[in-house]
Amino acid sequence: MTAHCPDVADPRARPPRLPRRAVVATVTLLSLVAVLLTACGDDEQAVPVAEQESSTSTSTSTSTSTTTTEAPTPTEAPTTTSTSTTTTAPPAPTMLRTGDEGPEVEALQVRLTELGYRPGTPDGRYGASTASAVMAFQKHEGLGRDGVAGPEVLGRIATPQGAGPQPGLPVPRIEVDLDRQIAFVVDAAGTVTIVNVSSGNGETYRHPDGYSAVAYTPTGTYAVERRIDGAEKAPLGTLYRPLYFKGGWAVHGSTSVPGYPASHGCVRISYADQDFIWDAIPTGAAVILYGTSPGSPDEAAPGA
C-alpha cells in the first residue's frame, strides 16, 4: 500500500471543470467591460491644436537646458615692436665770436676765468671783454691773434701750455711781456691775472708839436710814480686812468688794443681791464717790462 502526503497534489489528477453557468457569466462580464471602455473613449474631448502646441511649448520651455561651453581658443601674445628713438645732440660749435650767445660761450667764459683771464661776468654773451680775454689767451699760447675762439683756442683751452709770469719778482706788480703782448697783473696776495696789451710799434711818427719821434716802449724795472683818476687828454690821444711809470710813459686804458704793437710807446689796455688794474696796483708798485721792443730808444718819445 502506497502512502500519500496530504499537502502534495497528485500530478495525475485532472483539473476540476467549471460549471457551464460560470463560463457564461464570465464571457458576459468581459463583453460589458469592452462596451464601457468604448463609451469612455467616445466621450473624451479633442484638444485644440493651439493648446497642443502650447502644451508642447510649455513642455519644451520647462525642459532642462544643457549649455555646452567651449574651451577658449588660445590667443597668441601680441607681438610688441620696440621702437628705439635716439636723439642726436647737435654738434658743439667750432667757432665762437663776438655777438654769439649760449651755454658754449658761458663755458668758455668760465674756463677763461679759471685760467686767470678777464672775460667779464660769465653770462653766455660773447662781448668785448670776452674777445679781449680770448685774444690774451691766444697771445699767451702763441696762437693766431683775432679774439675769436676757433678750433685752436677751444682745443688748447683745456690744457694751456704757455709760460706764466717770471718767478722771484716783487709783488704787487705789472709785468709786461712785450714779445707776447700780454701783461701779468700780480696783486699783493700773489694772484695772477692775464690781460691783453698793445705797446709801441717802433715806427717813426710826427708829433703834434712838430718834431719826429719813434713809437718805442722802454724795457726794464720801474714803479708807478703817479696816477690820474680819469681820462687825460694828451697831444697823441686820450689816456684813461693812466699809471705813469717813467716820465710820460704810462699803462693806461684805450679804446684800441689790437693783437699787435700799435701805440706811440705807452702800454695800452682795455678800459675794463684798466679799472681792474687801478684798484689792484697801488702807487709805488713795480712795473717790469721785458722782451723785444721795436724801434730805437734814442729817438723815442712818450705817447699814447
Q: Which three cell numbers stand for residue 141?
A: 699760447
Give the number of C-alpha atoms closer than 13 A to the C-alpha of residue 222, restricted to the C-beta side.
21
Q: How many whole angstroms separate alpha carbon 96 and alpha carbon 104?
A: 8
pLDDT tens readout for residues 256-290: 999 999 999 999 999 999 999 999 999 999 999 99
Q: Determine whether 175 is exposed, middle or buried from the number of CB atoms within 10 Å of its CB (0-12, 13-18, 19+).
A: buried
* Under 8 Å between Cβ of 119 and 130: yes
On whether both 214 and 155 belong to a single domain, the answer is no
pLDDT at residue 267, as a whole number: 98
How high is the pLDDT of residue 40? 37
pLDDT of the residue at 296 = 85
What CATH number is given to the structural domain containing 269?
2.40.440.10
- Reduced to 3 states (helix: H, G, I; strand: E, B; else coil), residue 55 is helix
Please check whether residues 210 and 103 belong to one and the same domain.
no
- CA 8, 14, 20, 26: dihedral to nearest 10 degrees? 50
Residue 279 belongs to some domain of the structure = yes
Q: Supply the pTM of this predicted model.
A: 0.70
Q: What is the pLDDT of residue 94?
A: 86
**277: closest CA among 221, 225, 227, 212?**
227
Residues 173 and 303 in one domain: yes
**Both 114 and 216 in a single domain?**
no
- Contact status, residue 260 vs residue 181, Cβ threshold 8 Å: yes
- Angle between helix axes 128-141 and 103-114 (nearest 10 degrees) is 50
Which of 110, 133, 161 is where one domain is finished? 161
pLDDT value of position 141: 98
Domain that holds residue 144: 92-161
Residues 203 and 267 in one domain: yes
Flag whether pLDDT at 157 surpasses 50.
yes
State yes or no: pLDDT of 293 exceeds 50: yes
pLDDT of 79 > 60? The answer is no
What is the per-residue pLDDT for 60? 38
Could you tell me which residue, 114 or 60, shows the higher pLDDT?
A: 114
Q: Is residue 15 domain-resident?
A: no
| 132 and 212 share one domain | no
Res 49 pLDDT > 80: no
77 within a domain of the structure (yes/no): no
Q: Tell me: the pLDDT tens digits for 204-262?
A: 999 898 999 999 999 999 999 999 999 999 989 999 999 999 999 999 999 999 999 99
The enclosing domain of 144 has a CATH number of 1.10.101.10
Residue 54 lies in a domain: no
Amino acid 298: pLDDT:
83
Asked if 210 and 276 sit in the same domain, the reply is: yes
How many residues appear in the chain? 304
Does one domain contain both 279 and 179?
A: yes
Q: Which helix (H) or strand (E) holds 116?
A: none
Q: Do 182 and 259 lie in a common domain?
A: yes
- Closest by CA to 294, choosing from 202, 182, 199, 181, is 202
Is residue 216 in some structural domain? Answer: yes
On whether residue 208 sits in a domain, the answer given is yes
Residues 204 and 303 in one domain: yes
Picking from 125, 140, 161, the residue at the C-terminal end of a domain is: 161
210 with 125, same domain: the answer is no
Q: Quickly state the pLDDT bin for 14 (edges 50, 70, 90).
A: very low
Does the pLDDT at position 56 exceed 60? Answer: no
pLDDT tens digits for 80-125?
555 555 666 667 678 999 999 999 999 999 999 999 999 999 999 9
Query: How far lies 185's CA from each of 68, 170, 176, 253, in Å?
Result: 99, 11, 9, 14
Cβ pair 230, 241 in contact under 8 A: yes
Instruction: Determine, yes or no, domain membership for 25.
Output: no
Looking at the predicted structure, is the pLDDT value of residue 183 above 80? Answer: yes
Give the count of domains, the chain.
2
